[in-house]
Amino acid sequence: MSGDKVLIFDTTLRDGEQSPGAAMSIPQKLEIARQLAVLGVDIIEAGFPISSPAQFEATKLVAEQVKGPTIAALARANANDIEAAGKALAAAKKKRIHTFIATSPIHMKHKLKKEPAQVLKMAVEAIQCCKNFTDDIEFSPEDACRSEIPFLIEVLNAVIEAGATTLNIPDTVGYVLPYEYGQLIAKLKSDVKGIDKCVISTHCHNDLGMAVANSLAGVRNGARQVECTVNGLGERAGNAAMEEVVMAIRTRQDFFGDGGLSTNINTKEIYRTSQLVSQLTGFVIQPNKAIVGANAFAHESGIHVDGILKERSTYEIMTPETIGLGGSRMVLGRHTGRAGFADRCKQLGYKLTKDELEQAYQRFIEIADKKKEVFDEDVAAIVNAEMRVVEQTYTLDYLHVASGTGTLPTASVKIGVKGETKIAVAFGDGPVDAAYEAIRQAMDLRPKLAEYSIRAITAGTEALGEATVRISENGRTFIGRGVSTDIIEASAKA
Ligand SMILES: [Zn+2]
């Protein structure tokens, strides 16, 4: 068992997208999938093709365009679902169908309204159906952790016999604790017939904050695939966070037996991937989030700083460089030319067209004028903000906000709406509120502001601020993002 690999099955695009409010467009999914390939995940679960035409299309495009990882699609245990998954995956070089059916008494009785014998039959038939499309077949007994173990073993025996190659054991509702989950994996590993030929997989939810701990308990007991998502996105409280699982396995190799365990992840891409997913979904990363939070490598107390300066390992179990943070902190400024800026963009992994580069460069010069030092994170924020504007429907031509003690916050705006210019003036509870009110009036819109957050991208009082705004109108949710050295301007742009 020495030196085994743990496969990373990323489900950011499927389970992650089921986070309330995290819906991603098809181009966004493609962009994330490409980055997941660069990151080195083994399997990308691209979607649930039967569930909607957009899901089908996204899965199909990822299967066609993203090279490297195996591309997986989800299907319930019926022929229609499996056929849709098979069709969506047709172009993939390596494809996997992931089919599932619930095996817990509570799900069988209330959700499926089926007897165990029927469920067993459907599971076997589903595997047989998958074989028409691929030999790489994953089976999940949904709600495995609340299933009766003898029945769970019976179903797993039968699906292996039918041809399943990966057995995923989901803690669908995030109910179990690490010790229990580890015991369950150990029991299945010893009692299910033919399981040695299959890969055992974990799929843990974070309802009790145990998703990563449970996944690792599964690995410790023989699981060799972990299903996870970037930043722990996912249904309800989310899935196991990819970056935590990967860094725990890497940092604690000593814990996982002779020779340790490893993954195929290029950890230096972790930070960039995390940022990309956060920016595209509008889900801001909490500062104290393990591995990728802004404070994850920040040392504050005097004793800690002193220790770090003397010997980093006194208070640091991982270095920020391993996750791709702050390796080169070379600073750009207003004297940086186009070539220097282009070179940095390239180093940061951006492939920009000439026009895009010029646009980003203009923005960079504006920012470099206000801010003496421009860091890599700033460059990334500029490029992300400038380049991902799919269609600039509105342009902010002018914004003036007056606020202070004793004055009523007032904003005046001039906005270009598809070639027309609109002007409005409004009061508000605060400067941001006033700016929004003025924009609403100018655009004649009444959207509901669902969520608003501001974060500083880099440190210092002149740092770039990134404002993320989630608005909803007529049941549709829009996410806007703006970057500026002025938070009010950033908010308005968003
Ligand atoms: Zn799930």
Q: Is residue 435 part of a domain?
A: yes
Q: Beta partners for 102? A: 142
The CATH number for 163's domain is: 3.20.20.70
Q: Is residue 199 part of a domain?
A: yes
Cα 234 to ligand 1 centre (Å): 7
How far does Cα 285 stand from its chain's mean position?
A: 11
Examine the domain organization and report whether 410 and 314 are in the same domain.
no
Cα 173 to ligand 1 centre (Å): 8
373 SS3 class: coil
End of a domain among 216, 251, 281?
A: 281
The CATH number for 400's domain is: 3.30.160.740
Q: Is residue 115 part of a domain?
A: yes
Please check whether residue 33 is in contact with residue 44, taking contact to mean a CB–CB distance below 8 angstroms.
yes
Note the pLDDT of residue 226: 98
Q: Which domain holds residue 442?
A: 389-446
Examine the domain organization and report whether 18 and 131 are in the same domain.
yes
Cα 18 to ligand 1 centre (Å): 9
Cα 210 to ligand 1 centre (Å): 14
Q: Is residue 96 part of a domain?
A: yes
Note the pLDDT of residue 412: 82
Q: Is residue 185 part of a domain?
A: yes
Examine the domain organization and report whether 225 and 308 are in the same domain.
no
Examine the domain organization and report whether 183 and 138 are in the same domain.
yes
What whole-number distance in Å separates Cα of residue 200 and Cα of residue 226? Answer: 9
Helices (H) and strands (E) in the chain, counts: 16, 16
End of a domain among 247, 281, 315?
A: 281
Cα 314 to ligand 1 centre (Å): 38
Q: Beta partners for 9? A: 43, 227
Examine the domain organization and report whether 79 and 146 are in the same domain.
yes
Cα 468 to ligand 1 centre (Å): 27
CA angle 357, 358, 362 (to 5 degrees): 115
Examine the domain organization and report whether 63 and 170 are in the same domain.
yes
Examine the domain organization and report whether 272 and 322 are in the same domain.
no
Cα 149 to ligand 1 centre (Å): 20
Examine the domain organization and report whether 309 and 267 are in the same domain.
no
Task: Report residue 61 as tokens.
Answer: 């495009």
Which parts of 132-177 fold into alpha helices (H)? Answer: 149-162
Residues, beta carbon < 5 Å, ion ligand 1: 15
Task: Report residue 90 as tokens.
Answer: 């047709």
What whole-number distance in Å separates Cα of residue 253 and Cα of residue 6? Answer: 12
Contacts of 429 (CB under 8 A, 6+ apart): 409
Cα 50 to ligand 1 centre (Å): 17
CA-CA-CA-CA dihedral for 376, 377, 382, 388, to nearest 10: 120
Examine the domain organization and report whether 210 and 305 are in the same domain.
no
**Residue 23 backbone zone (phi > 0: left; psi -120 to 50: alpha; other: beta):** beta
What whole-number distance in Å separates Cα of residue 465 and Cα of residue 381? Answer: 9
Note the pLDDT of residue 1: 41
Cα 47 to ligand 1 centre (Å): 12
Q: Is residue 175 part of a domain?
A: yes
237 closest CA partner among 182, 288, 185, 283: 283
494 residues of the chain, pLDDT tens digit each: 446 999 999 999 999 998 888 889 999 999 999 999 999 999 999 999 999 999 999 999 999 999 999 999 999 999 999 999 999 999 999 999 999 999 999 999 999 999 999 999 999 999 999 999 999 999 999 999 999 999 999 999 999 999 999 999 999 999 999 999 999 999 999 999 999 999 999 999 999 999 999 999 999 999 999 999 999 999 999 999 999 999 999 999 889 877 789 999 999 999 999 999 998 998 999 999 999 998 888 776 778 778 877 888 888 899 889 999 864 445 677 788 888 888 888 877 788 888 888 988 988 888 888 877 777 778 888 888 776 654 456 677 777 877 777 778 888 888 777 667 888 888 888 777 888 887 777 777 666 665 666 665 555 555 666 666 666 555 555 566 666 666 666 666 66
Examine the domain organization and report whether 178 and 269 are in the same domain.
yes
Q: Is residue 84 part of a domain?
A: yes
Examine the domain organization and report whether 32 and 118 are in the same domain.
yes
Please check whether residue 224 is in contact with residue 6, taking contact to mean a CB–CB distance below 8 angstroms.
yes
User: How many structural domains comprise the chain?
Assistant: 3
Examine the domain organization and report whether 218 and 140 are in the same domain.
yes
Cα 70 to ligand 1 centre (Å): 19
Note the pLDDT of residue 488: 66
Q: Is residue 437 part of a domain?
A: yes
Cα 237 to ligand 1 centre (Å): 10
Residue matched to tokens 């829009």: 478
- Interhelix angle 338-347/376-387, nearest 10 degrees: 90
